[in-house]
Structure 1
Amino acid sequence: MKIIKQIFDFYINSSIHVALSVYALVRMTQYMFNISHDDAMVYFAFFGTIVGYNFVKYDALARVKKLQMRNELKAIAFLSFVSLIAVGICFFQLQIHTQIVAVAFLGLTLLYTLPFFPNRKNARNWAGVKIYMVALSWVGVSLVLPILNAEIVITSDFYLKCIQRFILVFVLILIFEIIDLQYDDPHLKTVPQQIGVKRTKYLGYILLLIFCCLEIFNVDGNDNLSIHFFSISLQSIIAFIIAIFMFFANEKRPKYYTSFWVESIPVILWISLILLNK
């Protein structure tokens, strides 16, 4: 059991699980916009998430030498290095305009992690900014980049999907902020710190309702009523599952509540989408 727990902890701590969530969202984007044969984009997002998240989590501590290189951290460093090579290979298979936008999102990640401005902390520690930067990054990687790389014509459906994806990620982060409330620095001014846990949950429910309502307007001229009804039903199921996790979220929940179960939601949705369309 100890070995199984160590493997599972490595799976979580090395950001493989969160990368799988991003992978699932990219696959869902490809399904929604009928994109096929674009594995380079999928694996760019997957390995890029591993590199980005591990950089954000471990870089600052490593630079000030407060983090001892235990065996697990050495393994994470090795995985991140291999993932960086994979990201580079996938990057050069993307369209030029996709590469340019991807570099812009890389800049956002660096801004989030490194203190670029004099006498200022990195963006991760800017009061009230973290949740928006993370949500925008997820929208960019999981939706904007796949659409650009596939050279899909931008329509109103794209913008609605961006808003929905932002809301989806934003609400998931709210759950993280509720769980981490007792550990977060008060100066971060997270949503629960500013308005309290109960109001944060109400905000989450309202956003999920908006998330569902927006699907009514996601009508493509080629869609028939049955497909549109299926899409609305799927989005409603998504919102309901997230609302349940939001309802039971509190500061006493173990770390796996968010780091595994909440981050599993995109994967569950993707698998459900595959099974329902067989």
Structure 2
Amino acid sequence: MIVSKRILDFYLNSSIHVALSCYALVRITFHVFHIQYDEPMALFVFFGTIVGYNFVKYDALVRVKKKTIGIQLKIIAVLSFISLVLVGYYFFHLKQITQIVSVGIFAITALYTLPFFPNRRNARNWAGVKIYIVAICWVGATLVLPIINAEIPFTPNFFVKCIQRFVLVFVLILVFEIIDLANDDPHLQTVPQTIGVKRTKILGFALMVPFWVVGILTFDLHDLLINLIMVITLMLFIAFANPNRSKYYTSFWVESVPIFWWLMIVFL
């Protein structure tokens, strides 16, 4: 039991799970826009997510707080280095315009972590903007990059999908913010800190309804039914979210929603 928990903790702490979520969203983008499987693009996002998330999570811990590096963190560092090498390898298999846009997304991630401006906190600690920065990065990595690399023009359908993807990630983060309410710095002004848990849940429900309804215009019946199951699942996670929940509620179960969505598309 203890060994299983350690393996699960490493799987989550090393950002492999969140990377699978991003990979799943890339695969959903391929499906929705009828793009043939693009391995360099999909794996670039997968390994890039591991590098980006581990950089965000552990940079301040090591660089600023000077924490002692334990064995798990050392293994995560090795994994992150290998992932960085693979990111570089797949980077050179992408179209030039995709490379340029991906550098822009990396710059936003770096801004989120590092204090570029004198006497200023990093963007992660800017009041009220954290949720938008994360959502924009996810949309850019899992939807915009695959579309650009496939050389598909920006049609109205593309912008609708960008809004939908943004809404999905936004709502996923709302659940995280509800769970983290007791631990988040009050100065962050997260959505639950600003409007309360009850209203945050109502906001999440309200956003998921148009997310599904808009899909009526762009999905076939098969996809609409799958999307409805995904929406109901996420609504249940919102409904039962509270600050007393275990970290696994969000770090494993809620982040599994994109994976669950993709697997339904594949197997149903």
In the TM superposition, residue 44 of structure 1 has moved relative to its aligned partner by 0.3
Name the stretch that deviates more: 27-36 or 254-263: 27-36
RMSD, aligned CA: 0.9
The equivalences for 1:155-194 within 5 A come to 155-194=155-194
1:97 corresponds in structure 2 to: 97
2:229 corresponds in structure 1 to: 237
Write the letter of the residue equivalent to 2:263: I
Residue 38, structure 1, aligned to residue 41, structure 2: no
Name the stretch that deviates more: 196-205 or 207-216: 207-216
Aligned equivalents of 1:206, 1:242: Cα separation in 2:
12
SS in 2 for 1:253: coil
Aligned equivalents of 2:94, 2:221: Cα separation in 1:
34
1:255 corresponds in structure 2 to: 247
Aligned equivalents of 1:65, 1:244: Cα separation in 2:
37
Aligned equivalents of 1:67, 1:53: Cα separation in 2:
18
In the TM superposition, residue 64 of structure 1 has moved relative to its aligned partner by 2.0
2:265 corresponds in structure 1 to: 273
SS in 1 for 2:139: helix
1:122 corresponds in structure 2 to: 122
The equivalences for 1:21-32 within 5 A come to 21-32=21-32
Aligned equivalents of 2:65, 2:177: Cα separation in 1:
27
Deviations 1:51-108 (A, max 9, x none): 0000000001111243211000000000000000000000000000000000000000
Residues matched between the structures, number: 268
TM score, norm. by length of structure 1: 0.95
SS in 2 for 1:34: coil
1:223 corresponds in structure 2 to: none
Aligned equivalents of 2:8, 2:221: Cα separation in 1:
38
In the TM superposition, residue 234 of structure 1 has moved relative to its aligned partner by 2.1
Query: Where in structure 1 are there 5+ consecutive unaligned residues?
Result: 220-227
In the TM superposition, residue 36 of structure 1 has moved relative to its aligned partner by 1.0
CA contact 2:18–2:255 (8 Å) conserved in 1: yes
Residue 18, structure 1, aligned to residue 18, structure 2: yes
